[in-house]
Structure 1
Amino acid sequence: MLRVDPVQTVKPPENTRRATKATAKATATAANWNIKHINAPRVWTELGTRGENIVVADIDAGVKFDHPALAAQYRGKKPDGSVDHNYNWFNAAGDCPSDDPCDGSGDGTHTMGTMVGDDGAGRVVGVAPGAKWIAARACTGEWNCPESAILQSGEWLLAPRDSAYRNPRPDLAPDTVAAGPPFHRLHRLHVPECRPRRPGARTTSPANSCGVRRRS
């Protein structure tokens, strides 16, 4: 029998930035009903962490970076209040009105809010409000996501680059990535069971395997 021994054992780094019990308790009190429903506040209070020292990312329609529930958690936000989008934002779709992160449909802002949303004024809507976020924009609308933009966004997240798309930094890659519509689109393009048989045809595959929204 072939035996494969590990050549290196890596111990996960300790989370050196944890939420205090008072902070965790206050956050739990302010949490929305949906966050309480999945027992996220129990994790915050019992484990003493709300996502501190973690970076999450999203491939979607972008993020409204100055939204009250997301501005403080943006990794590009500096202590003096200024922002630096290098290594923190990538616009593969290429149609924002400025170099700042934008969201034409609101979908990316919504999903990022579900991850880290906290306005600091008593309303917590995110599962990990202590985490930081970065984002790549691959969609110009909720479901208008070109395959090339999706793949380029994924490449950028593996090793974020500066605003000129140079100097890749894999050490700045996020800890986790969420991507709803973009991944559904790739799935439907490349999984045979998900491809329509003719123009305009609807797939009969289950929604949870093809990412198809069923209409009532």
Structure 2
Amino acid sequence: MWPPIVIAVVQLAVLLFLERYGRTNIHNAVALGVVPGIAALLTLAWWLLASRAPRRARLIGLSLVIAAVAAVVFSQRSVEMGGMLLALALRYFVYSAAIVLLVSFPARWKFRKWALAMVIVICAVFFCAMRVDSIGGDLFPVVSWRWKPSAAQRSAALAGVDPQGRAEAPEEAAPGDWPDFLGHGRHNRVSGVRFSTNWDAPPREIWRRNIGPGWSAFIGVGDYLFT
């Protein structure tokens, strides 16, 4: 019983370490898929090879896990999105199995096997109720409940943009403009402009407009923003 609990604790420790000290998308990818994937495989290996469950129960458990994985993956509009959701779900499968084994330790095996089966089904149903809308900049899937409008649906519901006239951008960028991806020279720095370092009075928001989802960078020239 103890190996899956130890695996879950180690998984939690590694994920907390990566969350605290990870700085790149490589760390995010490791936290999303690699660590939970290894933990899930080790837990499954323990179940099949080292647990005290009867052989028939082990095979039934393996079949249930395969069915749960397939349900999560194929619940999305593409296998790629389903795989991202599965990567997000694996850690919770590992945690749930460890918690059930720990809490049900004094109980008889008949109760514990049904508890394990129930937690696998509940986890699968929970994640199948989610929809992967997109992949965030940190490589983690952006999810929402299936019954809520997606970002694309919310964008389509926006009122049409009112005509504001034609933007005549200057031919040359002035100091403080952001005329290209990552700014002038594409070095992600602004030259010739000084910003206040006194954040006791934060910058005032000048305007805001809901334009729906987007993945492009902004270009700022003069009084205009382009995307």
**TM-score, normalized by length of structure 1?**
0.28
Select the structure that is richer in helix: 2
Look at both structures and tell me which one has the larger radius of gyration over its CA atoms. 2
The higher relative CO (CA closer than 8 Å, separation ≥ 6) is in 1
**TM-score, normalized by length of structure 2?**
0.27
